[in-house]
Protein backbone atom coordinates (compact mmCIF):
# COMPACT_ATOMS: atom_id res chain seq x y z
CA UNK A 1 0.00 0.00 0.00
CA UNK A 2 1.37 3.46 -0.88
CA UNK A 3 1.87 6.32 1.52
CA UNK A 4 -1.51 7.88 0.86
CA UNK A 5 -3.26 4.56 1.32
CA UNK A 6 -1.52 3.71 4.55
CA UNK A 7 -2.07 7.14 6.04
CA UNK A 8 -5.72 7.05 4.96
CA UNK A 9 -6.12 3.75 6.73
CA UNK A 10 -4.25 5.07 9.73
CA UNK A 11 -6.43 8.17 9.82
CA UNK A 12 -9.50 6.00 10.11
CA UNK A 13 -7.93 4.30 13.11
CA UNK A 14 -6.40 7.40 14.65
CA UNK A 15 -9.48 9.42 15.53
CA UNK A 16 -8.00 10.18 18.95
CA UNK A 17 -4.56 8.66 18.66
CA UNK A 18 -2.77 8.67 21.95
CA UNK A 19 -5.32 10.86 23.72
CA UNK A 20 -7.67 10.05 26.56
CA UNK A 21 -7.95 6.92 28.63
CA UNK A 22 -8.66 3.50 27.21
CA UNK A 23 -12.19 2.21 27.44
CA UNK A 24 -12.08 -1.32 26.11
CA UNK A 25 -15.83 -1.86 26.25
CA UNK A 26 -16.83 -4.67 23.90
CA UNK A 27 -13.34 -5.06 22.46
CA UNK A 28 -12.56 -8.73 21.92
CA UNK A 29 -9.61 -9.47 24.18
CA UNK A 30 -6.54 -11.09 22.70
CA UNK A 31 -5.99 -14.66 23.86
CA UNK A 32 -2.61 -14.79 25.65
CA UNK A 33 -1.75 -17.81 23.51
CA UNK A 34 -2.14 -15.62 20.42
CA UNK A 35 0.80 -13.45 21.44
CA UNK A 36 3.83 -15.18 19.96
CA UNK A 37 6.97 -15.19 22.15
CA UNK A 38 9.83 -13.22 20.65
CA UNK A 39 13.54 -13.90 20.63
CA UNK A 40 14.72 -11.64 23.45
CA UNK A 41 17.50 -9.15 22.71
CA UNK A 42 20.88 -9.69 24.32
CA UNK A 43 22.10 -6.66 26.26
CA UNK A 44 25.72 -5.54 26.28
CA UNK A 45 27.80 -3.81 28.93
CA UNK A 46 28.55 -0.11 28.60
CA UNK A 47 32.14 -0.71 27.52
CA UNK A 48 30.97 -2.80 24.59
CA UNK A 49 28.72 -0.14 23.06
CA UNK A 50 30.35 1.65 20.11
CA UNK A 51 29.77 5.30 19.23
CA UNK A 52 29.35 8.45 21.24
CA UNK A 53 26.33 7.37 23.30
CA UNK A 54 27.20 5.21 26.29
CA UNK A 55 24.89 2.58 27.70
CA UNK A 56 24.45 2.18 31.43
CA UNK A 57 22.74 -0.22 33.78
CA UNK A 58 19.57 1.87 33.63
CA UNK A 59 19.76 2.33 29.85
CA UNK A 60 20.89 -1.02 28.44
CA UNK A 61 21.44 -1.53 24.73
CA UNK A 62 21.09 -4.59 22.54
CA UNK A 63 24.23 -6.30 21.32
CA UNK A 64 25.19 -5.33 17.79
CA UNK A 65 25.43 -8.95 16.66
CA UNK A 66 21.89 -9.61 17.91
CA UNK A 67 20.58 -6.51 16.14
CA UNK A 68 22.28 -7.42 12.88
CA UNK A 69 21.09 -11.02 12.81
CA UNK A 70 17.56 -10.19 13.96
CA UNK A 71 17.17 -7.38 11.44
CA UNK A 72 18.16 -9.77 8.66
CA UNK A 73 15.65 -12.39 9.80
CA UNK A 74 12.66 -10.10 10.27
CA UNK A 75 13.25 -7.67 7.40
CA UNK A 76 13.42 -4.48 9.48
CA UNK A 77 16.29 -1.99 9.29
CA UNK A 78 18.95 -2.33 11.96
CA UNK A 79 18.39 1.16 13.38
CA UNK A 80 14.70 0.42 13.96
CA UNK A 81 15.36 -3.04 15.43
CA UNK A 82 17.90 -1.52 17.81
CA UNK A 83 15.42 1.18 18.83
CA UNK A 84 12.70 -1.35 19.64
CA UNK A 85 15.08 -3.71 21.43
CA UNK A 86 16.77 -0.98 23.46
CA UNK A 87 13.39 0.40 24.51
CA UNK A 88 12.23 -3.06 25.56
CA UNK A 89 15.39 -3.67 27.57
CA UNK A 90 15.16 -0.29 29.29
CA UNK A 91 11.47 -0.66 30.12
CA UNK A 92 12.33 -4.11 31.45
CA UNK A 93 14.63 -2.44 33.98
CA UNK A 94 12.27 0.41 34.83
CA UNK A 95 8.97 -1.48 34.80
CA UNK A 96 9.70 -5.22 34.87
CA UNK A 97 6.07 -6.09 35.55
CA UNK A 98 5.02 -4.71 32.18
CA UNK A 99 6.73 -7.48 30.17
CA UNK A 100 7.03 -5.35 27.05
CA UNK A 101 8.59 -7.27 24.17
CA UNK A 102 10.38 -5.52 21.34
CA UNK A 103 8.06 -7.15 18.82
CA UNK A 104 5.09 -5.26 20.25
CA UNK A 105 6.88 -2.00 19.53
CA UNK A 106 7.80 -3.33 16.09
CA UNK A 107 4.16 -4.16 15.43
CA UNK A 108 3.18 -0.59 16.25
CA UNK A 109 6.07 0.76 14.21
CA UNK A 110 4.96 -1.22 11.17
CA UNK A 111 1.34 -0.12 11.37
CA UNK A 112 2.20 3.52 12.03
CA UNK A 113 4.97 4.16 9.50
CA UNK A 114 6.49 0.91 8.27
CA UNK A 115 9.36 1.57 10.68
CA UNK A 116 9.95 5.03 9.28
CA UNK A 117 10.19 3.88 5.66
CA UNK A 118 6.65 4.66 4.50
CA UNK A 119 6.52 6.22 1.07
CA UNK A 120 10.18 5.54 0.37
CA UNK A 121 11.42 7.34 3.48
CA UNK A 122 14.61 6.27 5.22
CA UNK A 123 15.70 6.01 8.84
CA UNK A 124 19.14 7.53 9.25
CA UNK A 125 21.90 6.23 11.48
CA UNK A 126 21.03 8.74 14.24
CA UNK A 127 17.41 7.54 14.38
CA UNK A 128 15.87 10.47 12.54
CA UNK A 129 14.27 10.10 9.12
CA UNK A 130 15.32 11.59 5.81
CA UNK A 131 11.92 13.28 5.50
CA UNK A 132 9.60 14.22 8.39
CA UNK A 133 6.77 11.75 9.01
CA UNK A 134 3.42 13.50 9.41
CA UNK A 135 0.02 11.92 9.77
CA UNK A 136 -3.09 13.52 8.28
CA UNK A 137 -4.42 16.80 9.67
CA UNK A 138 -6.61 16.08 12.67
CA UNK A 139 -9.28 18.46 11.42
CA UNK A 140 -12.45 16.60 12.35
CA UNK A 141 -13.05 15.26 8.86
CA UNK A 142 -14.39 11.76 8.43
CA UNK A 143 -12.42 9.24 10.44
CA UNK A 144 -10.26 11.66 12.43
CA UNK A 145 -10.65 13.75 15.55
CA UNK A 146 -10.45 17.53 15.67
CA UNK A 147 -7.35 18.58 17.60
CA UNK A 148 -5.91 22.09 17.69
CA UNK A 149 -2.13 22.36 17.83
CA UNK A 150 -0.04 24.06 20.46
CA UNK A 151 2.94 26.20 19.55
CA UNK A 152 5.34 23.26 19.88
CA UNK A 153 3.09 21.16 17.67
CA UNK A 154 3.02 23.78 14.93
CA UNK A 155 6.79 23.98 15.10
CA UNK A 156 6.92 20.22 14.54
CA UNK A 157 4.57 20.03 11.56
CA UNK A 158 3.91 23.57 10.31
CA UNK A 159 0.11 23.55 10.56
CA UNK A 160 -1.23 26.45 12.62
CA UNK A 161 -4.84 25.23 12.44
CA UNK A 162 -4.77 21.49 13.14
CA UNK A 163 -2.51 19.02 14.86
CA UNK A 164 -0.81 16.09 13.15
CA UNK A 165 0.68 12.90 14.54
CA UNK A 166 4.44 13.11 14.06
CA UNK A 167 7.27 10.64 13.68
CA UNK A 168 7.66 6.91 13.16
CA UNK A 169 5.43 6.02 16.12
CA UNK A 170 2.92 8.80 15.28
CA UNK A 171 2.66 10.80 18.50
CA UNK A 172 0.33 13.76 18.75
CA UNK A 173 1.54 16.73 20.75
CA UNK A 174 -0.54 16.24 23.89
CA UNK A 175 0.61 12.64 24.26
CA UNK A 176 4.22 13.51 23.55
CA UNK A 177 4.17 16.26 26.17
CA UNK A 178 3.31 13.59 28.76
CA UNK A 179 5.32 10.59 27.59
CA UNK A 180 8.01 11.97 25.30
CA UNK A 181 11.47 10.99 26.52
CA UNK A 182 15.08 10.78 25.43
CA UNK A 183 15.63 7.19 24.36
CA UNK A 184 19.19 7.36 23.09
CA UNK A 185 20.92 9.53 25.67
CA UNK A 186 21.65 12.50 23.43
CA UNK A 187 19.85 14.91 25.74
CA UNK A 188 16.94 15.58 23.37
CA UNK A 189 13.45 14.03 23.29
CA UNK A 190 12.43 14.08 19.62
CA UNK A 191 9.33 12.26 18.39
CA UNK A 192 10.87 12.26 14.92
CA UNK A 193 13.74 10.10 16.25
CA UNK A 194 12.85 6.40 16.31
CA UNK A 195 15.04 5.81 19.38
CA UNK A 196 13.13 8.40 21.39
CA UNK A 197 9.77 7.47 19.88
CA UNK A 198 10.14 3.74 20.59
CA UNK A 199 11.14 4.32 24.21
CA UNK A 200 8.33 6.84 24.69
CA UNK A 201 5.85 4.40 23.17
CA UNK A 202 7.03 1.78 25.63
CA UNK A 203 6.53 4.16 28.54
CA UNK A 204 3.04 4.92 27.27
CA UNK A 205 2.09 1.27 26.85
CA UNK A 206 3.31 0.45 30.35
CA UNK A 207 2.10 3.65 31.99
CA UNK A 208 -1.17 2.26 33.31
CA UNK A 209 0.32 -0.80 34.95
CA UNK A 210 -0.71 -3.33 32.31
CA UNK A 211 1.02 -6.71 32.14
CA UNK A 212 1.58 -7.22 28.44
CA UNK A 213 2.28 -10.91 28.97
CA UNK A 214 -1.48 -11.34 29.45
CA UNK A 215 -4.10 -11.07 26.75
CA UNK A 216 -6.14 -8.61 28.78
CA UNK A 217 -3.16 -6.37 29.53
CA UNK A 218 -1.74 -6.49 26.01
CA UNK A 219 -5.10 -5.68 24.44
CA UNK A 220 -5.80 -2.81 26.81
CA UNK A 221 -2.35 -1.29 26.30
CA UNK A 222 -2.54 -1.36 22.50
CA UNK A 223 -6.12 -0.09 22.57
CA UNK A 224 -5.00 2.79 24.78
CA UNK A 225 -2.36 3.68 22.19
CA UNK A 226 -5.01 3.80 19.48
CA UNK A 227 -8.68 3.35 20.28
CA UNK A 228 -9.55 0.91 17.51
CA UNK A 229 -10.26 -2.81 17.47
CA UNK A 230 -8.86 -2.99 13.93
CA UNK A 231 -5.66 -1.33 15.10
CA UNK A 232 -5.19 -3.88 17.88
CA UNK A 233 -5.68 -6.70 15.38
CA UNK A 234 -3.19 -5.17 12.92
CA UNK A 235 -0.53 -4.65 15.57
CA UNK A 236 -1.00 -8.20 16.85
CA UNK A 237 -0.59 -9.64 13.36
CA UNK A 238 2.58 -7.64 12.71
CA UNK A 239 4.07 -8.35 16.14
CA UNK A 240 3.46 -12.07 15.76
CA UNK A 241 5.00 -12.09 12.30
CA UNK A 242 8.17 -10.55 13.71
CA UNK A 243 8.19 -12.86 16.73
CA UNK A 244 7.83 -15.96 14.60
CA UNK A 245 10.55 -14.92 12.16
CA UNK A 246 13.00 -13.73 14.82
CA UNK A 247 13.53 -17.06 16.54
Confidence category of residue 202, pLDDT binned at 50, 70, 90 = very high
Q: How far is CA 47 from the centre of its chain?
A: 28
Alpha carbons 170 and 147: distance in angstroms, whole number: 14
Alpha carbons 184 and 197: distance in angstroms, whole number: 10
Q: What average pLDDT score do residues 19-39 get?
A: 48
Q: Among 3-7, 103-107, 198-202, 214-218, where is mean pLDDT lowest? A: 3-7
Q: Are 208 and 81 in contact (CB under 8 A)?
A: no
**pLDDT, tens only, 102-135:** 999 999 999 999 999 999 999 999 999 999 998 7
Find the distance separating the first CA and the last CA of the chain, reported in whole Å.
27
Helix/strand/coil for 118:
helix
Q: Which of 42, 33, 103 is nearest to 246 (CA)?
A: 103
* Cut 0.85: pTM above it: no
pLDDT of 55 > 50? The answer is: no
Amino acid sequence: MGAAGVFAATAALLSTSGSGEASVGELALVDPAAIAPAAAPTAVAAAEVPGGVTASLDRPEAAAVWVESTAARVGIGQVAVAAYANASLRIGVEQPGCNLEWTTLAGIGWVESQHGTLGGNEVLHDGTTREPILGPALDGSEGVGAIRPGADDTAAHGNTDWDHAVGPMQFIGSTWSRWGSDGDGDGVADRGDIDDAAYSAGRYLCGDGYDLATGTGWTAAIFAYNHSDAYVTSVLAAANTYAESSG
